[in-house]
Structure 1
Amino acid sequence: MNILTVKNLTKNFGGLCANSNVNLEVRPQELVGLIGPNGAGKTTLFNMLTGVYEPSEGEILFAPNGKEIKLNGRKPYKVTKLGIARTFQNIRLFTSLSVIDNVKIAMNKDVKSGVISSILRLPSHYKEEARMEREAMELLAIFHLDEKADELAGNLPYGEQRRLEIARALATKPKLLFLDEPAAGMNPQETAELTALIKEIKQRFQVSIVLIEHDMSLVMKLCERIYVLDYGKVIASGLPEEIRTNKRVIEAYLGEEV
């Protein structure tokens, strides 16, 4: 069974159709690419899949544990609780908080101790805090950010902020992870490191990943299947070698075989 099934998804903004009859499937522990020109509707699609936008038409089905759940109409925090996390095209960290606090905030959905235990400083509160601290540091170590745990997130270099945003998303323990242009603004060395990191994330966390990306080298190296959007519609889908030689994709987006 697919972990995500999208059926005829459409989003209208007044007279503008941002997405039209989009059909998409993601299998368990699969890495799928979503590419296309600027303005093709890729981020709008992500926003519908994560509850930011309500679809005008169509259906979103998520099956984290083998049973399909309809996501239409669910708020973003409810979508997160079900097992979907994302990063953003423009980094959205809590820049005035520490690196570790950015990660711990994402763990709140699993906190079992209540408000009363926090106010009264009961043993259960301290036990929960210790667990979150330990798990956050373990996660930061994977991203080589553990030595900067107490620094302000806003003081990190750009590439490290990107990594922190991915770490924060993974702190919610997702089954499905959406990455919106994770390599944007990175230099070639940072992009190579990110490519290796995404491979490690998929294997270590056994998570399905859908990524929007304009760096075709990264897309072709990482993705098992690729969907291509143009003017809000899927114009092609298939294996990387099929996409790189697809005449319609070359004409609409690639410009040449990659």
Structure 2
Amino acid sequence: MRLATEDLKVRFGGVRPLDGVTLVFESGLCGLIGPNGAGKTTLFNVLSGFVRPVAGRVTADGTDLLALSPHRRARWGLRRTFQQEQVVAELSVAGNLRLAADHLGGTDEGLLGFCGLEDPDRPAGALTLPERRRLELARALVGTPRIVLLDEPAAGLSEAESRALAEVVVAVPEKFGALVVLIEHDVALVGEICESAAVLDFGRVIASGPTAEVLADERVRAAYLGEPA
């Protein structure tokens, strides 16, 4: 799977959250990092169809994603999680997956076990935060995901909980054949699990490529890690 953006621009009044973003994400697990306000979530919103760019292109293996509505993109196989939880507390764990399956098409067979959720009948509102994060991931994997966008899935988790969730995320590309793009503020974790990475700063790409090379880039260390360039 090859997800590509070309000269993406987004304007909110006089603010430019994306200012000419050109990126290519190819197979496996890719990290997307940058300071707060760099444009990471805005990029996810464009990719998933919730924000319309004023200029640019988005393609996935030749499919023009900008021509598809958010619902059609999800049905096509572009899935995402959000910083704000989408779990329905009143439904059971299994009920949340059935709801996603009805919306997205496909089945949820085997997803609970894969994501480490043992009790399908437990009310989602009774889950711990790490369990809710796993349920969010399971919902995104219903059916046949091709691209999975994860927006800070480990936010609020302890280091141990974050590492445990990362073990599941790392297994997604091989099990589902999907491209995974991960927004994550834990740079060390990105360095450990992501094959490639891209860095946004003030709505522009300042580095992209193999993760080790990106994290060693002087511009990245200056913009994100606070070191002089």
Q: Residue 208 of structure 2: which of 237, 250, 256 is its match?
A: 237
Letter in 2 for 1:49: L
Q: Residue 150 of structure 2: which of 168, 171, 179 is its match?
A: 179
Indicate the residue corresponding to 1:168 in structure 2. 139
- The change in CA–CA distance for 1:256 and 1:183 in structure 2 (over 3 A counts) is farther
* TM-score of the two chains, using structure 2 as the length reference: 0.94
Do 1:21 and 1:233's aligned partners in 2 also have CA atoms closer than 8 Å? yes
Q: Distance in 2 between matches of 1:232 and 1:110?
A: 34
2:5 paired with 1:6: yes
Please say which of residues 163-172 and 196-205 is displaced more in the overlay. 196-205
Q: Residue 105 of structure 2: which of 93, 110, 114 is its match?
A: 110
Which structure carries more strand by proportion?
Answer: 2
Indicate the residue corresponding to 1:151 in structure 2. 122
Indicate the residue corresponding to 1:123 in structure 2. none
Report the Cα offset of residue 32 of structure 1. 1.0
Indicate the residue corresponding to 1:210 in structure 2. 181
Give per-residue Cα distances to partners, 1:62-108, cap 9 Å, x unaligned: 22xxxx11111432111101110001112211111111111111112
Give per-residue Cα distances to partners, 1:168-222, cap 9 Å, x unaligned: 0001421110000111111111111112111112221121100100011210011
After the TM superposition, which residues 100-139 of structure 1 pair with which residues of structure 2 at under 5 Å, given as runs?
100-108=94-102, 109-110=104-105, 132=107, 135-136=108-109, 138-139=110-111
* TM-score of the two chains, using structure 1 as the length reference: 0.84
2:53 paired with 1:55: yes
Do 1:106 and 1:172's aligned partners in 2 also have CA atoms closer than 8 Å? no
Q: Distance in 1 between matches of 2:119 and 2:37?
A: 36
Report the Cα offset of residue 110 of structure 1. 2.7
Do 1:19 and 1:44's aligned partners in 2 also have CA atoms closer than 8 Å? yes
Do 1:235 and 1:249's aligned partners in 2 also have CA atoms closer than 8 Å? yes
Q: Distance in 2 between matches of 1:161 and 1:256?
A: 36
Do 1:94 and 1:154's aligned partners in 2 also have CA atoms closer than 8 Å? yes
Letter in 1 for 2:183: I
SS at match of 1:148: coil
Letter in 2 for 1:95: A
SS at match of 2:214: helix
Q: Provide structure 2 residue ranges, at least 5 long, that are not aligned to the other structure.
A: none
2:112 paired with 1:140: yes
Letter in 2 for 1:103: L
Structure 1 runs, 4 residues or longer, greater than 3 Å off: none
SS at match of 1:159: helix
Q: Provide structure 1 residue ranges, at least 5 long, that are not aligned to the other structure.
A: 112-131
Report the Cα offset of residue 256 of structure 1. 4.9
2:81 paired with 1:82: no
Q: Distance in 2 between matches of 1:205 and 1:249?
A: 31
- RMSD across aligned positions (CA): 1.6
Q: Distance in 1 between matches of 2:193 and 2:64?
A: 29
Q: Distance in 2 between matches of 1:178 and 1:150?
A: 27
Give per-residue Cα distances to partners, 1:95-150, cap 9 Å, x unaligned: 11111111111112336xxxxxxxxxxxxxxxxxxxx5xx44x21011221x3211
Letter in 1 for 2:30: V
